[in-house]
Structure 1
Amino acid sequence: MFNDASSDFDVLVASDAIGMGLNLNISRIIFSTMKKFDGIEMRDLMVPEIKQIAGRAGRYGSKFPVGKVTCIDAEDLPLLHSSLESPSPTLELAGLFPTFDLMYMYSLVHPTNSLHQILEHFLDNAKLSENYFIADCEEMLKVAAVIDELPLGLHDKYLFCISPVDMDDEISSQGLTQFAQNYANKGIVRLREIFTPGTLQVPQTQTALKELESIHKVLDLYVWLSFRLEDSFPDHELASSQKAICSLLIEEFLERLGWQKPKARRLPSRARMNSLLSKDIRQHL
């Protein structure tokens, strides 16, 4: 809808995911912050990330062939300017992941081998130049060891192997096993067969919190599978809603412990914003 010139949507509020190659007709990018939480710590955006996000503004052959970029906070401008002027760092190494096509070719050569055996053979014998390395496949091997016993085709087994499952989490791994078994035996997996909606509660202990987090992983796995095997995992909406409830209950527990959600930053005054934007941009606001 944002790309539709006839729509009334002129402003898109997005996370840094906008830098992942979205083809949008964007005239300008305004960074609300130059920091992000990467799952471990709050850090400054890196040069490639800044360039990717800023690069959404302006696109050859689009309505806006030349883009403009700025920040809400003046103190962020030096990092923006230096990043755009800096050369992108050279990648010294690139990771390679065993694709399905590779696994399929291996299976033609070794038709009696299981997926686990094919993966092991590939990892042991793959020869790469010094510029590449094989990505960590431990989780794939753990899943393959479980689902190889099921009457599934190679493609389905591979799909389960690359799914977002934590095999070190007992509830999460049990969820994947149950999903795979039901899929192999019935061809359809109903969420209610392993999960009862309406039973989620705010955890009262750390143990209960951990269990709720595990349930969230199972629901997330179902949602992921429902995007790829839509007919066989038909309860996408139910899983998504229960997953959202899980998140809210986890947040409520953490808030009771004193954890506070980050407060939204107040936007600067219109006068200050105007001072940060070029005259060329202001005339279009």
Structure 2
Amino acid sequence: MANPRLVQNYQLLQNLVETRFFQAIYSVGKWAKHRAEWEPFGIESQHQLDTEIALFRKMVDKAFTLAMTADKTSRKENPLFWNLRNTFIRSDTPGLDRELRHSFQTFLMRQRFPAAVAQLQTELADLRYPYEWYPATRMMQRTVHLHVGPTNSGKTYNALLALERARTGVYAGPLRLLAHETFTRFTAKGKPCALVTGEEVRIPDGSESWIYSCTVEMTPFNTKVDVAVIDEIQMIANEERGWAWTQAFLGVQAKEVHLCGEERVVPLIQDLCARIGDKCIVHEYRRLNPLTVMPESLDNNLRNLRKGDAVVAFSKLNIHRLRKGIEKETGRRCAIVYGSLPPETRASQAALFNDPNNDYDFLVASDAIGMGLNLEVKRVIFDAATKFDGVAITPLTVPEVKQIGGRAGRFRSAARAADGGAPPPAPGLITTMDPDDHEFIRTQFGKTAPPIQTAGILPPASVIERFHSHFPSGTPIEFVLSRLREMSRLSPQFHMCNFSEPMAIAEIIKPFKLSIRDSCILLHVPANMRSQEQELALKAFARCLAGYGSGHLLDFPEIDLEVLDETPPRGNGMESTTYLQRLESLHMVITMYLWLSYRYQGVFQSQTLAFEVKKRVTDKIADRLENLGFESAALVKQRKRLRSKAAQQELQRKKVREAEEKAEKE
């Protein structure tokens, strides 16, 4: 029998599952009015639907009984329970609703496939050898240079030198701002360079060959190049985006592949290189100057800041509130850097902070500075020890603390010391704004992160298309994805990345008659499906692709362009917050439109206008944030609330992990 406390938790979850299941079924509707929804699953009457609902409820009850009485909770022994519980922990009730619908659909399909078709599906769901998805690359003899070490050790600098010497090549980084930084660097040196991100493409004129500087998702696979640099290779293990690093590493057609990242990725990369026949050379680097955690925090007093300090915050609102408070309390200027700022603005802000001959003494930045931006930071101050990961509030991990904190220590001073032309530089310093966060950051910094065990993957469009072809006509793509996820077989070197966002998108575009190819493209559109405005825009774009409307930007009433002409409300009340949220949603919707305009140039034709609208939105957001007020006590209270929430969620995840480990051992 399971632990009594766990049994109580499972009973509460079962009650929630019962409630959410009926809501999910009723959201589809009665059989008579929604036959098109039910018939692909073999349901031909309301009576048959009611019977299947009753049978599925019995199966759910059996799964929970098995968990509570026999303590069987593993994916192998009790897959339905495992899926429902883990989805709820990861994605709360919206994720649970989706999982229930997909589980019920899978249940309905249990007798729909002849043995031969089921066998074909099993073969197509065999994802154990993702390196075989890139046959042209496998025919090459590549040399992989793995540059590993802490931040400020020169690993990326040396990799980029190899790219600079090449005639053709690729730089693939985790952020648009890093792609822009590399693009600017090569262009300034007179080397032809193309910038390729999801929403922007710049190709150099008058040149037959060039370097690609791109976000990792946009890495070109059909072009042979001399050198490829893939930055932050430890992101290959990321639950959301790891597939992009795996895809870039396995697929890029380069004679030399330079991977830059943390030392903990070495065993995995060596193993993968051995399996695909690539030569692997490891280059180890040491930090150019020491790094240490200070013995005390700033005690929530902004007047304790020093020239060259960078305060790292984890929300755009807090970044601007802190900037306002720092300038008010110190009388000195404060630069800001975060990912969604226009590249020109980011560059100018970084230059202002790096220049010692002005009054920009401080920087407030997002965790983007942990990804290799060249900033003259003496000391990193963590505004908080928690962050929102897209689903929940979580404590900062050991790699995050080391990656962000590692930006402390002035790069140029360290470089001069390495050349022997200067005395050893002062150590980089790390501390926190709040004393209650200090011990956590100090402890995390002192830990060693475990080795990376697996690389993330997602099934490519070609696999999804072939898998989809073996289902009855009209089968929703979100069910196909769910089925593929359930049937997939993976080798020990790989894990399946989180399917939640693609499946949420698949559900939204379900009403429109799109080709499977178009559906697969839309699965990766940059969107937050928790935003109603973005969901409505995605539906409008999908409707347009299905042939039901114009693709001109001004022909989409779902796009809230009216907010650009409204007078901003005064103060910091609810109206001001709503206005800012509308601007940020519009910014993301325009980003979606630009992303689609590069994939469907003949449909979404207002690219020039979209860039102009995006600039206006960015300016209005910046202006609005400039006028935010600062209340130190409110930030202290917020940090305390987030710490408590993160601790509760971490405890819940720990219980789940312990239960799973126990089940696996048995």
Instruction: Indicate the TM-score class for this superposition, using the shorter chain for normalisation.
Output: 0.5 to 0.7
Structure 1 position 246, deviation (Å): 0.7
Structure 1: where are the runs of 5+ without partners?
26-34, 51-70, 81-88, 260-285
Query: Does the CA contact (< 8 Å) of 1:212 and 1:250 recur in 2?
Result: yes
The structure with the largest alpha-carbon Rg is: 2
Query: Does the CA contact (< 8 Å) of 2:477 and 2:506 recur in 1?
Result: yes
For the residue of structure 1 that corresponds to 2:495, the secondary structure is strand
Bigger mean CA deviation after superposition, 120-129 or 223-232: 120-129
Query: Does the CA contact (< 8 Å) of 1:187 and 1:232 recur in 2?
Result: no
RMSD: 4.0
Q: 1:147 to 1:43 in 2, by over 3 A?
A: closer
Residue among 577, 581, 602 paired with 1:210: 581
CA shift digits 1:216-263 (9 cap, x unpaired):
11111000000000001000111111011111110111111269xxxx
Point out the structure with the larger strand share.
Answer: 2
Separation (CA, whole Å) in 2 of partners of 1:191 and 1:155: 23
Structure 1 position 90, deviation (Å): 7.0
Give the aligned partner of residue 525 of structure 2: 163
Query: Does the CA contact (< 8 Å) of 2:508 and 2:535 recur in 1?
Result: no
| Alignment of 1:186 onto 2:548 | yes
TM-score (norm 1): 0.63
Give the aligned partner of residue 469 of structure 2: 108
Question: Matched residues, percent identical?
Answer: 21
* Residue identity opposite 1:41 in structure 2: D
Q: 1:134 to 1:231 in 2, by over 3 A?
A: same
Separation (CA, whole Å) in 2 of partners of 1:44 and 1:143: 30
| Alignment of 1:148 onto 2:519 | no
Separation (CA, whole Å) in 1 of partners of 2:416 and 2:460: 41
For 1:25-64, what aligned pairs fall within 5 Å after superposition? 40-41=366-367, 43-45=369-371
Structure 1 position 198, deviation (Å): 7.1
Q: 1:140 to 1:9 in 2, by over 3 A?
A: closer
Structure 1 position 114, deviation (Å): 2.1
Q: 1:243 to 1:42 in 2, by over 3 A?
A: closer
Query: Does the CA contact (< 8 Å) of 1:202 and 1:250 recur in 2?
Result: no
Structure 1 position 98, deviation (Å): 2.1
| Alignment of 1:126 onto 2:488 | yes
Residue among 479, 485, 490 paired with 1:117: 479
Q: 1:79 to 1:156 in 2, by over 3 A?
A: farther
Residue among 589, 593, 606 paired with 1:222: 593
CA shift digits 1:67-94 (9 cap, x unpaired):
xxxx9621356799xxxxxxxx975311
For the residue of structure 2 that corresponds to 1:177, the secondary structure is helix
| Alignment of 1:247 onto 2:618 | yes
Separation (CA, whole Å) in 2 of partners of 1:101 and 1:187: 28
Query: Does the CA contact (< 8 Å) of 1:96 and 1:132 recur in 2?
Result: yes
* Residue identity opposite 1:10 in structure 2: K
Separation (CA, whole Å) in 1 of partners of 2:512 and 2:418: 53
In the comparison of the two structures, how many residue pairs are matched?
215
Query: Does the CA contact (< 8 Å) of 1:202 and 1:253 recur in 2?
Result: no
Q: 1:225 to 1:43 in 2, by over 3 A?
A: closer
Separation (CA, whole Å) in 1 of partners of 2:544 and 2:510: 14
Give the aligned partner of residue 94 of structure 1: 455
TM-score (norm 2): 0.29
Give the aligned partner of residue 10 of structure 1: 189
For the residue of structure 1 that corresponds to 2:480, the secondary structure is helix
* Residue identity opposite 1:222 in structure 2: Y
Q: 1:197 to 1:94 in 2, by over 3 A?
A: same
Structure 2: where are the runs of 5+ without partners?
1-163, 168-186, 198-212, 228-309, 311-336, 340-364, 375-409, 420-449, 570-575, 631-666
Structure 1 position 14, deviation (Å): 11
Point out the structure with the larger helix share.
Answer: 2
Give the aligned partner of residue 414 of structure 2: 75
Q: 1:14 to 1:185 in 2, by over 3 A?
A: closer
CA shift digits 1:21-80 (9 cap, x unpaired):
89799xxxxxxxxx996785265557xx99xxxxxxxxxxxxxxxxxxxx9621356799
Query: Does the CA contact (< 8 Å) of 2:478 and 2:507 recur in 1?
Result: yes
Q: 1:78 to 1:140 in 2, by over 3 A?
A: farther
Residue among 174, 180, 184 paired with 2:536: 174
Separation (CA, whole Å) in 2 of partners of 1:78 and 1:157: 54
Structure 1 position 10, deviation (Å): 3.1
